Chain A
Amino acid sequence: EIVLTQSPGTLSLSPGERATLSCRASQSVNSRYLAWYQQKPGQAPRLFIYAVSNRATGIPDRFSGSGSETDFTLTISRLEPEDFAVYYCQQYGSSPLTFGQGTKVEIK
């Protein structure tokens, strides 16, 4: 099983600032099958990034994903008020699919 470790656990930033979220895998992620989800309280997760760097439908271009093999990053170039939420990475290249424990982006 691939274990995903996200850091930091909580990121305290102000609107307009840049956010950098990390996701590290215990072994190489197959075929770049790494996704990022946003979840707000009381809501289902929403796909934001798939295949490492592809934005899902409707996701603004201030969100970008990068990385390879075991180290991946989600960057939010300039935080908007609606971006404060929990973000999860997920690998879907091998079974079982696994998620990171999440990074909470909170308003400073």
Chain B
Amino acid sequence: QVQLVQSGAEVKKPGASVKVSCKASGYSFTAYYIHWVRQAPGQGLEWMGWINPDSGGTNYAQKFQGWVTVTRDTSITTAYLELSRLTSDDTAVYYCARGDVTTSTDYWGQGTLVTVSS
């Protein structure tokens, strides 16, 4: 069965960086995009960007360009989200999700809580 398993919760200080992983299994990793979506406490869903695991090509929402990087390692079917220059506004649950052109994001990881606090 399709599974996306994310790395554990992180606590970071302002100005630091964090890297969240998303291990995919149960399907052909290179056949589907991986999207990243975040959700601040008590708030809605915010799309951040996607990666094409086959080509490595990426697309980011404008507000995340320049300080968010999405990468992948096809040998271990894992995608990564790296955020730099963290502020308290980046405290959120970060989700990875499998992307399909027809069904949008059909399988989601369990989420990774990133807390930014001094």
8 Å CB contact of B103 from A51, A97, A98, A102: A51
Tell me the chain A residues, 11-37 only, with Cβ under 8 Å from chain B: 33, 35, 37
A102 to B42, CA, bound (A): 11
8 Å CB contact of B106 from A33, A56, A95: A56
**Number of residues of chain A lying within 8 A (CB) of chain B:** 23
8 Å CB contact of A46 from B59, B104, B108: B108
A19 to B13, CA, bound (A): 44
A99 at the interface (CB under 8 A from B): yes
Q: How many A-B residue pairs have CB under 8 A?
A: 56
A51 to B100, CA, bound (A): 11
Distance in angstroms from A68 CB to nearest chain B CB is 17
8 Å CB contact of B44 from A35, A96, A97, A101: A101
Check B103 against A47 for contact (C-beta < 8 Å): yes
Q: Indicate whether A45 sits within 8 Å of B103 (C-beta atoms), given known contacts A88-B44, A100-B44, A101-B44.
A: no
B7 at the interface (CB under 8 A from A): no
Q: Indicate whether A95 sits within 8 Å of B59 (C-beta atoms), given known contacts A44-B110, A51-B103.
A: yes
- Residues of A with C-beta under 8 A to B61: 95-96
- Residues of B with C-beta under 8 A to A50: 102-104, 106
Check A45 against B108 for contact (C-beta < 8 Å): yes
Q: Indicate whether A47 sits within 8 Å of B45 (C-beta atoms), given known contacts A95-B59, A96-B62.
A: no
B87 at the interface (CB under 8 A from A): no
- Residues of B with C-beta under 8 A to A39: 45
B82 at the interface (CB under 8 A from A): no
B95 at the interface (CB under 8 A from A): yes
A102 to B40, CA, bound (A): 14
Check A47 against B44 for contact (C-beta < 8 Å): no
Instruction: For the A-B complex with A37-B45, A100-B44 known, give 8 more contacts whose Cβ atoms are closer than 8 Å.
Output: A46-B108, A47-B107, A50-B106, A90-B104, A92-B105, A95-B61, A101-B44, A102-B44
